[in-house]
């Protein structure tokens, strides 16, 4: 869609017509901003749930660190073993125990295996980042995104929308957002939460109905909500 100024001051959005004649009606800028505000509001989650998910992220982060440490330790041992093999076959070559052609074959084979292990090692090191911190930023943004949207200028609203959305399709009066990850998961959760509240006539956040009490494992929250924050942030 593209913007047009009518009567010298009113801004309307219309289809560009890039795919032929379109019956999509013109939409006032104020109406576009209002509907996109609802799109942002659809990812909002309440403060108590934000804090609970943070605890789940902490617990899962500790497990993630343990897993990556175990794998990287094993890879480092394998890397050391191969480097020792290369050193030994080089000594055999110098001592005349093997032909140059045999040394080259073994050297190339071990070198290829070493490069593969280094690649896997780097991927595990890169994966072992503090996604708790990043996850917290995402959750806090989701908590306050709608309020921030209402306060901002149109230019700042656009920046926020670009961060949250990959696209938004307009069909008549309907706005169909395509959220970036992990906001798509938050939107799905929020919709399920609203549906359940309507079904039960529940005013308080529905997650309180299933939130474990006391010393229960906080990972329950991640599993029950199906929020794949740990892999997609």
pLDDT tens-digit series, residues 209-229: 334 444 444 443 444 444 444
Instruction: Indicate if the pLDDT at residue 82 is higher than 90.
Output: yes
The mean per-residue pLDDT over the stretch 3-16 comes to 86
Helix, strand and coil percent figures for the chain, each rounded to 5: 65, 10, 25
Using CA atoms, how far residue 231 sits from 85, 127, 138, in Å, is 37, 9, 13
pLDDT at 68 over 50: yes
pLDDT band at 230 (very low <50, low <70, confident <90, very high): very low
d(CA 86, CA 82): 6
Q: What is the mean pLDDT of the chain?
A: 78
Dist. CA 99–CA 103, nearest whole Å: 6
- 20, two tokens: 């032929």
Quickly state the pLDDT bin for 10 (edges 50, 70, 90). Answer: confident
User: Using alpha carbons only, what angle is made at residue 32 by residues 20 and 179, rounded to the nearest 5 degrees?
Assistant: 85
Residues 229/53, Cβ–Cβ less than 8 Å: yes
Tokens at residue 67, please? Answer: 């897993």
Rounded to two decimals, the pTM is 0.52
In a 13 Å sphere around the CA of 64, the CA atoms on its Cβ side amount to 19
The residue length of the chain stands at 233
Q: Mean pLDDT over residues 71-97, rounded? A: 91
């Amino acid at each position: 869609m593209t913007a047009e100024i009518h009567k010298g001051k009113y801004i309307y959005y219309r289809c560009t017509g890039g795919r032929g004649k379109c019956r999509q009606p013109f939409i006032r800028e104020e109406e576009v901003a209002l509907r996109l505000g609802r799109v942002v509001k659809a990812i909002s989650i309440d403060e108590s749930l934000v804090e609970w998910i943070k605890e789940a992220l902490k617990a899962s982060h500790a497990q993630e660190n343990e897993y990556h440490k175990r794998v990287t330790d094993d890879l480092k041992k394998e890397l050391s073993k191969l480097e020792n093999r290369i050193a030994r076959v080089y000594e055999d070559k110098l001592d005349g125990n093997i032909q140059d052609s045999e040394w080259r074959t073994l050297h190339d084979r071990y070198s290829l295996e070493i490069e593969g292990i280094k690649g896997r090692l780097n991927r595990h090191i890169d994966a072992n980042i503090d996604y708790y911190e990043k996850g917290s930023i995402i959750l806090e943004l989701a908590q306050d995104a709608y309020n921030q949207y209402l306060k901002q200028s149109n230019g700042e609203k656009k920046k926020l929308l670009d961060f949250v959305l990959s696209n938004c399709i307009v069909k008549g009066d309907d706005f169909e957002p395509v959220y970036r990850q992990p906001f798509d998961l938050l939107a799905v959760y929020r919709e399920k939460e609203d549906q359940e509240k309507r079904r039960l006539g529940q005013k308080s956040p529905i997650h309180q109905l299933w939130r474990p009490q006391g010393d229960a494992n906080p990972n329950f929250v991640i599993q029950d909500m199906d929020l794949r924050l740990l892999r997609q942030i």
